[in-house]
Structure 1
């Protein structure tokens, strides 16, 4: 058939053949593109059963729109009655061809398995079962994207069977037991086949093999594959457990949904126990609500600074593991959590010792891992473990410091004391640890460790509850609950400086995040009053400096003053990742991105299982134009918090805005839709951008449905204009005007709000007012906002000014990347101008140098 013409397709070469068809590469003479044509072999044309199965393939696959599923363009029939399907042509190789060169590295195999799983999840969501997942049916494009081919054995769930009674469909080595027996099948059959494919990719040989088809089927029905760790010692044992479950003989013992398999693969890569949900992390207030803010509004899981293969050599490093309650009563669990938090706080005051942050050590609560494993993963030499029990006014606390390298006990003690001695116990533990690690305690550090925060135990309990609410709160209402607990602690003890400081911090964040503009002045007053009282009681307390910094940043929009206070807090508390996060955000607002990135890397070293360090490092790397580095940091975020949306949202943004990689971004978005269970607001902007870059403006608009974030009013207005709905667009520009005007009434120095207000006025056609607002945006705040400023000029009817500004941005790494210039619809009005095309070319050249 080479050289012949079928409809408007010219056959170029034969690509392959299988039991259900022959595939050719062809040229679509109308659209000038390459396609793949799949024909039913001539000898099967008269077989009505084969023909019906072939039509089922087309019907099933054509309903699916997913980056991991082969796109179906058309179904046709030749003049002599032969059926064919027109599919997308992909430059690449099948997984079968790839495996002919040998087994895959773990990271690559897991990446491909995850992509295949996402494609299957889409099919299963539409009631479609593939029934023949195997390496030959997985195409890997030149960009590394997996595409599921050949839905020739798929059938729509609920459709009448078209196979002969007792006939089996599928390829023996990858056929599930129920499929081999000719029984009814469901989506768990595809799960089984995917498990077999993943096994082969890692082992370099099939999970079930035999000289003849019947011997293969016997092996599937009666034998277990050799554990992968017996073939490759470097593979994690958790992988054996995952594959054992995926390849269970009985469907009820397998993963029931593809999302469960994906979740366990994510947990394994993150180092979390398989089958156990990963812990939620609090994003610091600067990270979620910082002065800069635009990054948050816009937009191989191997570590960049991966801990060494051995336990850390320096003894002056410690992980304080969660204390174990001796009983499982609610009182004991709460007491154990409080003791752990306080001991960790006390130990963190020892400046000569590297202390791993709470978010990282909480990962190891009830972990079966050995002390040596934990120390290696956290890159520390010593580990403190302990247990607690409270019975009325009597407590027991045990603690043991272990050298993870030698597994020797460096110090241990048991405290049977009245509850009133709780502060003395915590102080003694911290001092004994310092002595055991030969760490020198300065006079100020020693005073801080020895001084009890309060002598009123009831006030202390309210303070602890405030810290608890603070640690789990993700919105202004939760932060308000924390503030009120701190306030109650202060009411019970008017000398409790630490509680006053935290009360001020909490109210500053409430001020920043509350949607009720009328109440902002009240929260300003409460934060300021608590801060003044804390400073009067303990002016040198690190938390007082942190509270001053928070008040200046969030209430007064004074980044310079906030940074000065934060630097003092950092000098006094160098192990405090909250202070470091705050400083990183402030440095970013001052355009010191290199300094901000250094702090983010330091946060990561202190909190390797947390999210704030990788978050800051990702966005700062991206702002510096280091897109690949930013993507790797986003991968660490996902590994550390696979059920949260922040990492996925960041990665989607980087892939789109850094590389213009729409297909890869869509894969990440599909994975996020399956795995993310919270913080989904981080996905709204990036997923909206994804559909906008695809020019699917209706779906982009749908992603923002129901969200009242002020920045999304501007996005909605953009999309509505693109959909030719000008009246609705104008209404959203007006909503943005009101929202950002309200923000500026409360915080006149908020430059992000000022720029957004200028855009809103431009969208409303109020050119003079728009120019007045833009004139008030200072030069420092304009850095990194090239896209928004160009869009402002376009809306304001000033295309020439937009081009001139983009020309100034060509050599600046923080300004629009070539991908943004090529894809972002906000710049569509410039695309017909030859100068704009030259700007794109010059930007590409500048970024390569």
Structure 2
């Protein structure tokens, strides 16, 4: 090819370069009147039709990538003589190789470029496309600063065919491809590789950007490849003391010899790099000034600019620090309220990379959120659930869901005997960072670390940190115990994981010897035992939890969490009058506490005060419109009243707020099924199970299958539900129903009903006033043949809650099993008037014998 030739619609204007990937030309698209980069592929590729087809298929897959940090491929085609060519976006700038050969980068520049490369890689990896030949030559930086990755996924087929690639010796086995010096160990061995190979190559590039040296370069290519496979290298900070420890960790994790020891997702690489970048951007506001020096003196340390230039940059860092503070103040002045009155704390990222590190990060972010919530003039949004919040788009969306002015995000890293917390204040409107800082303390002083971070954030937001009570863990736990308390806080974020709850209980019980008089320790242990009781359904756990909660409020009359936990336990035990008092005490201390408001509503519901309950639920949601928990509780209230459309609206809103919350999807599926929207119900239940298989979701799925007459399928779903929650009376009752109507398991129905009755009796020991549990037990008793006891129990359930549509339905079940058709019809009519769905009754096999009766048809049509 020569300048002036035409390739398809493109006229070659000038030659830009050549290499193993072929020749690259600047070309003009005569049709669209634009310039492109045109890559003419090696002729050797045209000599192997199968390889050319594979290459074209792979190139077209890469052309589907649409990301600001990946060069766009416009077209893939061939010339008349079968020479392949690719038209792609033309970048006016220089490649990273050229940039590395010039003046040394500042740390800020290196991180800016690295973040963009990682984001581009992550986008491709999520589409199943790996680069396989990542190196500085394949990274372009435009004149206006945009970073672009070239040649995605294109190297593999060319490497296998071309014998002219200068980067790989011709004697090397054909299965090895890539560029020596940037290969991963699995590439160098010629083994199968995936996206994590790109992480290794990226780590090599980042190492070179930070130190101006390639970590595995040796005198010959074979020695270089041997070094990649075997040699351990020092971290970048060994050659550049201004590289932060967090950045060392990221680089060295990318350079792990085994793929399994690298990142599970390249998106996490990008996120961790952003955390370091953001911490350096704002860390100049810390007292030590070391981060400012790090950013300023980086180029001087790597052998670049003059001392005068570095001095100017240090002064500039001070100016930046002042401007950062002024930016927060200016923003606060231009918002509708000053100081900031609403924030959300995004769960802090763990940079340690261990299970203990994750618990530590969860615990510290929980402590910070709790401390901020103690300020009456500041609304702290409900905790985040589900997928992590990472990039600016996620942050803006999260802020909209939480309806807050600002977000607080951060990371936690344990290194030796120290713990470092990096945190930032993010503007809700555009995801921009307003303020960032770092605090480091010994691991034995975690409460002092949280106090420093919380105080700094509150001061920046324009609020004053409240004093700690004398009975707080900070004043009562010694250095060796603080870590266990924070770990327990982190573990209890996983309340549906019995193993995590057990570990939290064990950690907290071990603290009672030294902190028996700590209200917070007693309250947290009570909360952990409450969670355990909801999983295991043992009355003794409720009794234990109640004792610790009562002790917590005795030790401190200002502990909101203790009063809320005590109220929840009293509600669970049917002591609703006492629960109201506990929640009122909590609300006196914190008037808009979402959990206290929703708990008070539950107490009203238990007392049969429906209007008061409705008002309290709505107040809880108004105070915290971002709280999925309040929405779920109000949705359950609506469900119990037969208001299925209202219930669906609450559960649907909960799924929008927390898309990864399986219970929200399960509840939505249940209410949609009750409304006859079976396809939508099935989709919601499948989503719930895909997120996390739970007993509730499988029970709801089984109910849907049961009402569709698919009894064998329903039996399988109910068996799974009972396996996941063996103490759940609902799962066993449902399984008995499915077996009773299935084609091959009728004889085993009684066993399931008996187990349901036993589990219900245990549940009634905890709360004897629970009409739903008693009515369900009555139905199981009737179906297992205990007709007189069933009649006595359903009578007690109706006395406790005579308007509950499910209780009325269970009364109809007891009547029909006892052979009382007229009684069954009467209860069905009352159930339908109370809100029970008539469509379910029409397909319920229990009432098949009376379905043709005019009185039955009239009863099921008695409402709407």
Q: How would you bin the TM-score normalised by the shorter chain?
A: 0.5 to 0.7
Q: 1:690 to 1:604 in 2, by over 3 A?
A: farther
Unaligned runs of 5+ in 1: 1-176, 200-206, 226-236, 254-272, 280-310
Q: Is the counterpart of residue 824 in structure 1 residue 844 in structure 2?
A: yes
Give the deviation of 1:688 after TM superposition: 1.0
Q: Is the counterpart of residue 499 in structure 1 residue 521 in structure 2?
A: yes
Q: Is the counterpart of residue 382 in structure 1 residue 401 in structure 2?
A: no
Q: 1:478 to 1:400 in 2, by over 3 A?
A: closer
Contact 1:736–1:760 at 8 Å: present in 2 too?
yes
The structure 1 residue matched to 2:574, chosen from 557, 567, 573, is: 557
Contact 2:386–2:658 at 8 Å: present in 1 too?
no
Give the deviation of 1:499 after TM superposition: 0.6
Structure 1 window deviating more from structure 2 (427-436 vs 339-348): it is 427-436
Structure 1 window deviating more from structure 2 (567-576 vs 390-399): it is 390-399
Contact 1:453–1:497 at 8 Å: present in 2 too?
no
Give the deviation of 1:646 after TM superposition: 2.2
Q: Is the counterpart of residue 481 in structure 1 residue 503 in structure 2?
A: yes
Contact 1:662–1:693 at 8 Å: present in 2 too?
no
Q: Match of 2:738, SS?
A: helix
Q: 1:492 to 1:389 in 2, by over 3 A?
A: same
How many angstroms apart in 2 are the aligned matches of 1:316 and 1:589?
A: 34
How many angstroms apart in 1 are the aligned matches of 2:672 and 2:615?
A: 24
Aligned residues: 575
Contact 1:577–1:606 at 8 Å: present in 2 too?
no
Structure 2 partner of 1:340: 365
Task: Spell out, residue by residue over 1:336-395, the C-alpha distance to the aligned partner (whole angstroms, 9 max, x if none).
Answer: 44332211110011122121233259832x545586665445332223345555556655
Task: List aligned pairs for 1:288-437, cutoff 5 A.
Answer: 313-314=336-337, 315-323=340-348, 335-359=360-384, 363-364=388-389, 366-367=390-391, 369=393, 375-376=399-400, 378-386=402-410, 397=421, 399-401=423-425, 403-404=427-428, 415=439, 422-427=446-451, 429-437=453-461
The alignment's TM-score, normalised by the length of structure 2, stands at 0.56
Q: Match of 1:471, SS?
A: coil
How many angstroms apart in 1 are the aligned matches of 2:395 and 2:531?
A: 38
How many angstroms apart in 2 are the aligned matches of 1:774 and 1:440?
A: 56
The structure 1 residue matched to 2:735, chosen from 695, 716, 726, is: 716
Structure 1 window deviating more from structure 2 (331-340 vs 538-547): it is 331-340
Contact 2:668–2:681 at 8 Å: present in 1 too?
yes
Q: Is the counterpart of residue 807 in structure 1 residue 855 in structure 2?
A: no
Contact 2:345–2:409 at 8 Å: present in 1 too?
yes
How many angstroms apart in 2 are the aligned matches of 1:387 and 1:513?
A: 31
Q: Match of 1:568, SS?
A: helix
Contact 1:662–1:694 at 8 Å: present in 2 too?
no
How many angstroms apart in 2 are the aligned matches of 1:552 and 1:646?
A: 23
Task: List aligned pairs for 1:761-780, cutoff 5 A.
Answer: 761-780=781-800
Task: List aligned pairs for 1:206-217, cutoff 5 A.
Answer: none
The structure 2 residue matched to 1:692, chosen from 691, 706, 727, is: 706
Give the deviation of 1:825 after TM superposition: 3.2
Contact 1:322–1:340 at 8 Å: present in 2 too?
yes
Structure 2 partner of 1:548: 566
How many angstroms apart in 2 are the aligned matches of 1:352 and 1:613?
A: 21
Give the deviation of 1:487 after TM superposition: 1.3
> Larger relative CO (CA 8 A, sep 6+): 1 or 2?
1
Contact 1:459–1:493 at 8 Å: present in 2 too?
no
Task: List aligned pairs for 1:84-233, cutoff 5 A.
Answer: none
Structure 2 partner of 1:203: none
How many angstroms apart in 1 are the aligned matches of 2:409 and 2:706?
A: 51
Task: Spell out, residue by residue over 1:549-600, the C-alpha distance to the aligned partner (whole angstroms, 9 max, x if none).
Answer: 233233x332332233123224424565544554454444445352364256
The structure 2 residue matched to 1:649, chosen from 662, 666, 669, is: 666
Task: Spell out, residue by residue over 1:295-323, the C-alpha distance to the aligned partner (whole angstroms, 9 max, x if none).
Answer: xxxxxxxxxxxxxxxx9844311123444
Task: List aligned pairs for 1:747-766, cutoff 5 A.
Answer: 747-766=767-786
Contact 1:765–1:796 at 8 Å: present in 2 too?
no
CA RMSD of aligned residues (A): 5.1
Q: Is the counterpart of residue 664 in structure 1 residue 680 in structure 2?
A: yes
How many angstroms apart in 2 are the aligned matches of 1:605 and 1:351?
A: 17
Structure 2 partner of 1:90: none
Task: List aligned pairs for 1:514-663, cutoff 5 A.
Answer: 514=536, 520-521=539-540, 523-524=541-542, 526-554=544-572, 556-574=573-591, 576-590=593-607, 592=610, 594-595=614-615, 597-598=617-618, 601-602=621-622, 605-607=625-627, 611-623=628-640, 627-639=644-656, 645-658=662-675, 660-663=676-679
Contact 2:580–2:603 at 8 Å: present in 1 too?
yes
Structure 1 partner of 2:696: 682
Q: Is the counterpart of residue 459 in structure 1 residue 481 in structure 2?
A: yes
Q: 1:325 to 1:714 in 2, by over 3 A?
A: closer
Give the deviation of 1:826 after TM superposition: 3.6
How many angstroms apart in 2 are the aligned matches of 1:621 and 1:564?
A: 24
The structure 1 residue matched to 2:751, chosen from 726, 731, 746, is: 731
How many angstroms apart in 2 are the aligned matches of 1:400 and 1:661?
A: 45
Q: Match of 2:376, SS?
A: coil
Q: 1:690 to 1:511 in 2, by over 3 A?
A: closer
Q: 1:636 to 1:247 in 2, by over 3 A?
A: farther
How many angstroms apart in 1 are the aligned matches of 2:792 and 2:401?
A: 54
Q: 1:652 to 1:827 in 2, by over 3 A?
A: farther
Structure 2 partner of 1:784: 805
Q: 1:731 to 1:431 in 2, by over 3 A?
A: closer
Structure 2 partner of 1:705: 719
How many angstroms apart in 2 are the aligned matches of 1:671 and 1:536?
A: 44
Q: Match of 1:319, SS?
A: strand
Structure 1 partner of 2:819: 797
Q: 1:479 to 1:553 in 2, by over 3 A?
A: farther
Contact 2:737–2:749 at 8 Å: present in 1 too?
yes
How many angstroms apart in 1 are the aligned matches of 2:773 and 2:616?
A: 23
Give the deviation of 1:415 after TM superposition: 4.7
Give the deviation of 1:837 after TM superposition: 1.5
How many angstroms apart in 2 are the aligned matches of 1:418 and 1:546?
A: 33
How many angstroms apart in 2 are the aligned matches of 1:616 and 1:480?
A: 26
How many angstroms apart in 1 are the aligned matches of 2:511 and 2:694?
A: 34
Task: Spell out, residue by residue over 1:430-480, the C-alpha distance to the aligned partner (whole angstroms, 9 max, x if none).
Answer: 455445444577xxx545599635242323222222222222142555433
Q: 1:182 to 1:694 in 2, by over 3 A?
A: farther
Q: Match of 2:490, SS?
A: helix
How many angstroms apart in 1 are the aligned matches of 2:543 and 2:686?
A: 45
How many angstroms apart in 2 are the aligned matches of 1:832 and 1:370?
A: 56
Contact 2:440–2:449 at 8 Å: present in 1 too?
no
Give the deviation of 1:635 after TM superposition: 4.1
Q: Match of 1:357, SS?
A: coil
Q: Match of 1:342, SS?
A: helix
Q: Match of 1:816, SS?
A: coil
How many angstroms apart in 1 are the aligned matches of 2:504 and 2:576?
A: 25
How many angstroms apart in 2 are the aligned matches of 1:741 and 1:455?
A: 41
Q: 1:421 to 1:667 in 2, by over 3 A?
A: closer
Contact 2:342–2:379 at 8 Å: present in 1 too?
yes
How many angstroms apart in 2 are the aligned matches of 1:627 and 1:475?
A: 30
Structure 2 partner of 1:172: none
Task: Spell out, residue by residue over 1:789-843, the C-alpha distance to the aligned partner (whole angstroms, 9 max, x if none).
Answer: 222221222221222223234443xx31233233333433431111222233331
